[in-house]
Structure 1
């Protein structure tokens, strides 16, 4: 099978670019003939989506590689969720159709359905026709299928869970040796306001005023439109670590026992960071948002209300006085992630989907 992967690759590192890299490497190791077209030309993370900016003109550079479609059996594309994020892949789709290639769209988010209804009538038609050109679709979990079933036959839409990197693998003895006597919290994501970082830092301030102290380590890309320096500067219990990868990420997630992502980000899908945190023995504190509800429940996570600082304060205060709960859930999360969300599972399940699509 000759597969062409079209979409963003690192850098920058995002859930989509990382997944594309892991898929590319994994399929290559399995003996597939893999080619790629990298459509990422912006090295900066931005919380705004959908508007046409000058740097997006660079997408046209990738069109010069469209000849790779011709020698492929299967064209796999990870689209965005804005009008432009979908439309920019149309040239690849047209060429795929001309040369009668099977096509798969992989959606790493839960906003596409809503985006469609926000568009003008003409844009709706273009949007629907473009996505409708794909033969098959992949979403991250069951609750996200609605995003593609509007445009494709339901039987042609598959689920493929996210994963944690092999470099984060550990053993149960290591998890048991973690310190659960006090809250050691981590936030690991791009520092977009809608990811909940501002709410978490405000909640931390309120809890400190109530005499509740804990260490919080924050890692991720700084966003120019969201200046958090004042928080980092005046609370010595908060550490900002910048971007962390590899051994530094592993050590960070082994240090922590609560992973907090109070997200209400409209482009959210199924955050890889949550899976990474579970695999390294962390309790999850998040929201019932997008695909998170398909990998987290009351059995392995604590949920706070979206964009509600006071509720987040209440939830953190609860676990502050219930450290045994943190330990029990952390153990269960390690076992759960180790069984379901490995790189191997991700690659094996992707191959099964590709084989179905080619039959």
Structure 2
């Protein structure tokens, strides 16, 4: 059984026969696997802790040819948000932070990529259409996604999404040399800490803007972080590592 970060919450919302059936089925699993050690609590209502394992995600081989020389980008403040444009992913905190940069006359470019939550479509586009510093794109794949990563140097994901697990985009962003701005949420701290950028408060666009200004004022000073983030992910989050760990668990 492999799970993310909403299972325990969903279980608590159940009652009566449904809850008993839910517990009965999941407790029959021989083993449980989560994507982060911080997420083990999702399975503790059903399995003993010694039967719960964790394996972090990995970065796809499509990014394997990116090298250290590709990831140092200090030509201006270039911001990337690559995720679904949902309230819980922090999109409005990002957009408000960019408004603060505009008010402060900070020079930057921002690329926002992802599918738009229909509930907030009009509100999101009101931000996008009023800000000439923002370029929006629908979800991209392959070389387009690689190009988007390599064209930017700060990756923002201030998520508090209730079903968040461990965002693969954070690993991809670190591999491509980004300074990270994210939150202490779900399993994020297992892969990303203040050594990789900044952990900010949830729902705090002012703090996001503050960190962006700080980065923009000294991009060259973040060169070592860009390089270290690249090597950290390239060394520790390979597909073969995931497969080997999974194989080891299944043999136990």
The match for 1:194 is 88
Helix, strand or coil at the partner of 2:111: strand
The match for 2:20 is 125
Q: Which moved more, 1:285-294 or 1:221-230?
A: 221-230
The match for 2:154 is 258
Task: Provide the C-alpha distance between the structure 2 equivalents of 1:216 and 1:137, rounded to a whole number of angstroms.
Answer: 40
Give the alignment's Cα RMSD to 1 decimal: 1.5
Q: 1:280 aligns with which of 172, 176, 197?
A: 176
| TM-score normalised over the length of structure 2 | 0.93
The match for 1:138 is 33
Task: Provide the C-alpha distance between the structure 2 equivalents of 1:282 and 1:220, rounded to a whole number of angstroms.
Answer: 18
Unpaired runs of 5+ residues, structure 2, are none
Helix, strand or coil at the partner of 2:58: coil
Q: Rg: which structure is higher?
A: 1
CA contact (8 A) 1:258 1:326 kept: no
Higher relative contact order (CA 8 A, sep 6+): 2
Per-residue deviation, 1:123: 3.5
Per-residue deviation, 1:121: 4.2
CA contact (8 A) 1:259 1:277 kept: yes
Q: Which moved more, 1:309-318 or 1:258-267?
A: 309-318
The match for 1:73 is none
The match for 2:132 is 236
Task: Provide the C-alpha distance between the structure 1 equivalents of 2:167 and 2:53, rounded to a whole number of angstroms.
Answer: 18
Q: Which moved more, 1:143-152 or 1:178-187?
A: 178-187
Q: Deviations over 1:9-32 (max 9, x none)?
A: xxxxxxxxxxxxxxxxxxxxxxxx
Per-residue deviation, 1:288: 0.5
Q: Which moved more, 1:180-189 or 1:282-291?
A: 180-189
Per-residue deviation, 1:207: 1.3
CA contact (8 A) 1:257 1:326 kept: no
Q: Which moved more, 1:286-295 or 1:313-322?
A: 313-322
Matches within 5 A, 1:69-84: none
Task: Provide the C-alpha distance between the structure 2 equivalents of 1:213 and 1:127, rounded to a whole number of angstroms.
Answer: 53
Per-residue deviation, 1:242: 0.8
The match for 2:201 is 305
Helix, strand or coil at the partner of 1:226: helix
The match for 2:49 is 154
Q: 1:347 aligns with which of 240, 243, 251?
A: 243
Q: 2:7 aligns with which of 93, 103, 112?
A: 112
Helix, strand or coil at the partner of 1:194: helix
Please tell me whether residue 203 in structure 1 is matched to residue 103 in structure 2.
Answer: no
The match for 1:67 is none
Please tell me whether residue 221 in structure 1 is matched to residue 77 in structure 2.
Answer: no
Q: Deviations over 1:123-167 (max 9, x none)?
A: 432322221121110001111111112211211111111011110
Helix, strand or coil at the partner of 1:185: strand
How many residues end up aligned between the 2 structures?
249
| TM-score normalised over the length of structure 1 | 0.67
Task: Provide the C-alpha distance between the structure 1 equivalents of 2:101 and 2:67, rounded to a whole number of angstroms.
Answer: 33
Task: Provide the C-alpha distance between the structure 1 equivalents of 2:19 and 2:216, rounded to a whole number of angstroms.
Answer: 48
Per-residue deviation, 1:325: 4.2
Per-residue deviation, 1:187: 0.6
Task: Provide the C-alpha distance between the structure 2 equivalents of 1:293 and 1:122, rounded to a whole number of angstroms.
Answer: 36
Helix, strand or coil at the partner of 2:119: coil
Task: Provide the C-alpha distance between the structure 2 equivalents of 1:230 and 1:138, rounded to a whole number of angstroms.
Answer: 41
Task: Provide the C-alpha distance between the structure 1 equivalents of 2:10 and 2:76, rounded to a whole number of angstroms.
Answer: 42
Task: Provide the C-alpha distance between the structure 1 equivalents of 2:40 and 2:171, rounded to a whole number of angstroms.
Answer: 20
